[in-house]
Amino acid sequence: MQAKIRKDGDVTVVDLSGRLDFESAEPFRETCQDLLLNSKVVFNLKDLNFVGSSGLGSFVNTLREFSQSNPVAPRFCHVRSEFKKLFDATGPEHFKVYDDENTAVTSFNAFSEADQKNP
């Protein structure tokens, strides 16, 4: 799996691509904690391939932990059905899913108190 990070205004977009596997799980977790924490983040899963269960649990746990620790809830777009099922099974309250990147990015403009965690 590869993660390409770019900016769209004040929103950080993370384009995830390639094959999700066990080896990529730890570097991805470190990237989330080191580079993305305290940011408005959209994870674009358009080019991420679901290839069996190797690394899947670590990937979803990393996303859930990031969602819990980031002051603003991250957004997800272009989420394929197999990932939606996993998101729903592991706690849908952690995953704000949008059909496309533009909608996910602009959703931060409609920032609500529900996006912020209680202190």
Diameter over CA atoms, the chain: 38
The pLDDT of 52-73, averaged and rounded, is 81
Comparing CA positions, the residue from 80, 110, 104, 72 lying closest to residue 20 is: 80
pLDDT of residue 113: 42
Each residue of 93-102: pLDDT tens digit? Answer: 778 999 999 9
Instruction: Report residue 66's pLDDT band, with 50, 70 and 90 as the boundaries.
Output: confident
Comparing 7 with 33, which gets the higher pLDDT? 7
Query: Where would I find the H helices in the chain?
Result: 22-31, 56-69, 81-90, 101-106
Both tokens of 27, joined, read 């570097």
CATH assignment, 2-105:
3.30.750.24
